């Protein structure tokens, strides 16, 4: 049985595809093996592995990696349950990617510094580190009785899962993203929970300064345009 954390991860993140063409092209230029940080259930790992690359996927949650391994059978994929701020794989890579704002989940500047140092140790000479961040979040809140974003919905083993964004709120130096999660069993039993995620505030200039302090060289930026359902992002690039 798929763990609930993996079901919610797929429902809320799995349908995002607008950045995949960029990661594919970058991987083709740099070659593999590739390190995917914050891989989750494999949204980018599987895409790159199917494109012929060897990929090492790391994530803090092994329940997510279990799903990735099942989906990646027959592909050249390895996984490691590890904290992005302290991983040590004993290997180097020509390309390390950090999609989906993972960099903004590391607990502020100190967490990012530890990650950047770890990432730098895992890059080949002239290897590339590419980090996506959301720097244009706009606060909103769904008011009772007013329309808002439509929920993401899926049904698994007779249980309906629904996740609806209800707010983005300023919170200190970052933002809180709030979703309303609902499950409905075959017997009609409803369960509701609130999911809150804190994204650290971060802009490309700050990240470039932090990368330089970790011994990396800024190597340009790429903008992933927003869609109706997802905010855009800026990919900040570094070379070892």
Q: How confident is the model at residue 226 (pLDDT cuts 50, 70, 90)?
A: confident
Segment 181-212, tens digit of pLDDT: 999 999 999 999 999 999 999 999 999 999 99
Q: What is the reported pLDDT for 52? A: 97
Q: What is the reported pLDDT for 93? A: 98
Q: Is the pTM of this model over 0.85?
A: yes
Is the pLDDT reported for residue 146 higher than 60?
no
Q: How confident is the model at residue 147 (pLDDT cuts 50, 70, 90)?
A: low
Query: Which homologous superfamily is 4-135+202-239 in?
Result: Vaccinia Virus protein VP39 (3.40.50.150)
Average pLDDT over residues 21-25: 97
Q: What is the reported pLDDT for 162? A: 94
The most confident of 38-47, 128-137, 165-174, by mean pLDDT: 38-47
Contact 162, 140 (CB under 8 A): no
Longest CA–CA span in the chain (Å) reads 58
By DSSP bridging, strand 217-224 and strand 233-239 are: antiparallel
Rounded to whole angstroms, the Cα distance separating 35 from 33 reads 7
Q: How confident is the model at residue 148 (pLDDT cuts 50, 70, 90)?
A: low
By DSSP bridging, strand 159-171 and strand 140-141 are: antiparallel
Rounded to whole angstroms, the Cα distance separating 129 from 126 reads 10
Average pLDDT over residues 214-218: 98
Q: Find, among 141, 214, 207, the residue nearest to 180 by Cα.
A: 141
What b/e readout covers 7-20, taking b as 16+ CB neighbours within 10 angstroms?
A: bbbbbbebebeebb
Q: How confident is the model at residue 1 (pLDDT cuts 50, 70, 90)?
A: low
Q: What is the reported pLDDT for 135? A: 77
CATH number assigned to the domain covering 140-199:
2.20.25
Rounded to whole angstroms, the Cα distance separating 173 from 112 reads 14
Q: Following DSSP, what letter does each residue of the chain receive, concatenated? A: ---HHHHHHHHHHTT--TTHHHHHHHHHHH-S-EEEET-TTTHHHHHHHHTT--EEEEES-HHHHHHHHHHTTTSSEEEEE--TTS---S--EEEEEE-TTGGGGS-SHHHHHHHHHHHHHTEEEEEEEEEEE------EEPPTTS--PPPEEEEETTEEEEEEEEEEEEETTEEEEEEEEEEE-TT--EEEEEEEEEEEP--HHHHHHHHHHTT-EEEEEEEEPP-SSS--EEEEEEE-
Segment 130-143, tens digit of pLDDT: 999 987 777 778 76
Q: What is the reported pLDDT for 221? A: 97
Q: Give the domain ranges of the chain.
A: 4-135+202-239, 140-199
Segment 42-101, tens digit of pLDDT: 999 999 999 999 999 999 999 999 999 999 999 999 999 999 999 999 999 999 999 999
């Amino acid at each position: 049985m798929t763990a609930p954390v993996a079901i919610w991860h797929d429902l809320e993140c799995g349908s995002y595809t607008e950045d995949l063409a960029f990661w594919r092209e970058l991987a083709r230029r740099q070659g593999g093996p590739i390190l995917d940080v914050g891989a989750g259930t494999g949204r980018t790992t599987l895409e790159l592995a199917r494109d012929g690359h060897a990929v090492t996927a790391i994530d803090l949650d092994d329940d997510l990696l279990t799903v990735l391994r099942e989906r990646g059978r027959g592909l050249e994929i390895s996984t490691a349950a590890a904290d992005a701020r302290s991983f040590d794989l004993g290997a180097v890579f020509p390309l390390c990617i950090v999609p989906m704002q993972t960099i903004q989940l590391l607990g502020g500047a100190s967490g990012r510094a530890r990650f950047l140092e770890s990432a730098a140790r895992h890059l080949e000479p002239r290897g590339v580190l590419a980090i996506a961040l959301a720097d244009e979040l706009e606060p909103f809140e769904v008011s009772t009785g007013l329309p808002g974003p439509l929920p993401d919905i899926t049904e698994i083993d007779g249980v309906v899962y629904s996740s609806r964004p209800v707010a983005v709120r300023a919170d200190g130096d970052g933002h809180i993203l709030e979703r309303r999660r609902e499950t409905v069993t075959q017997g009609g039993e409803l369960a509701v929970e609130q999911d809150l995620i804190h994204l650290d505030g971060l802009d490309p200039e700050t990240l470039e300064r932090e990368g330089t302090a970790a011994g990396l060289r800024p190597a340009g930026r790429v903008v992933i345009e927003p869609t109706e359902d997802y905010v855009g992002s800026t990919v900040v690039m570094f070379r070892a």
